[in-house]
Structure 1
Amino acid sequence: MKGHSEQPLIKHLFELRTTALRCIISIILITIILLPFANQIYSFIATPLIAKLPEGSSMIATEVASPFFAPFKLTLFCGIFFSIPYILYQTWSFIAPGLYINEKKLILPLLVSSSLLFYLGIFFAYYVVFPILFAFLTTTAPSNITVMTDINHYLDFILKLFFA
């Protein structure tokens, strides 16, 4: 079967490695580009909670390195967020040669719609769900409790809602 287009397993593994490296490099590059804006990005993400905090409440850092690591971690996730189309394209480039034409026609709309729905879901959560959620959560605290959310815990909560 010399004329058949099958490739040996080692070549597939090498291509998979190359694809994974390209995806990782794209995440790293976007993260590096966004690092100078890490604090502004964190402030933007914290806005829905800060807007709903009762007077006298604030966000706090309970660990020494939290003011550095929380924005850095968010910037890394933003690198992933903005790399999703490229990651999906790389995944498609790796998988597509092994698919039949009719399978390719089915997957392309799926890739486009999944990217679009992923981004729409995050925007919906940020602009619609978070204001309602944080208004509810901050107003249900007992009157003798001052709401002071830790920046790391807030970030973990937000990322779980975004990527879950």
Structure 2
Amino acid sequence: MKTVHDDTGKRYLLLKRSEHASLVRNPKNGNECYIQNDRLEDDTDESPLETAARTISDPVRTLLTNVHDEATLGLLIELDNRGPLGIRTLLDEYDFCESDLHGRLTVLSAAGLLEQVDIACERGYRATKTCTTALDQLPTASEHDLGAVAESSDGTADSSS
């Protein structure tokens, strides 16, 4: 599979090429169609997987590629929900050692998900607009969903919640 674009610049994933036309898939909606070969050019700028990934909004892609565990995601959610927090508050209230927290804050700031601010003459952090936009686009489970559909390892509903 490779990435191609038509004469209007629209990107597709090439599925099959024949003598006169090629079967392509629109990565945004999954629709497949045939396009004349003389209207298509190979796109060497990005791989098919990058083309598929670009169907996700920039803020969500930034979040997904920079948050590698639940604790880091939880840190972003807390900063987004609670507003800017000082570094001492982050160390006191959350289960991070100083070097681990500093590493996470550095990566998230470099990615544009957090920004450093001053809070009462102390260094602090707040979620950026990019972070807030990304978090707002993610689906969340309601309290009912969390308690009602816990599945045990054998696939039966767990009634202990």
- TM-score normalised by the chain length of structure 2: 0.23
Larger relative CO (CA 8 A, sep 6+): 1 or 2?
1
Instruction: With the length of structure 1 as denominator, give the TM-score of the two structures.
Output: 0.23
Give the helix-richer structure, 1 or 2. 1
Compare the two structures and name the one with the higher strand fraction. 2
When Rg is computed on C-alpha atoms for both structures, the one with the higher figure is 2
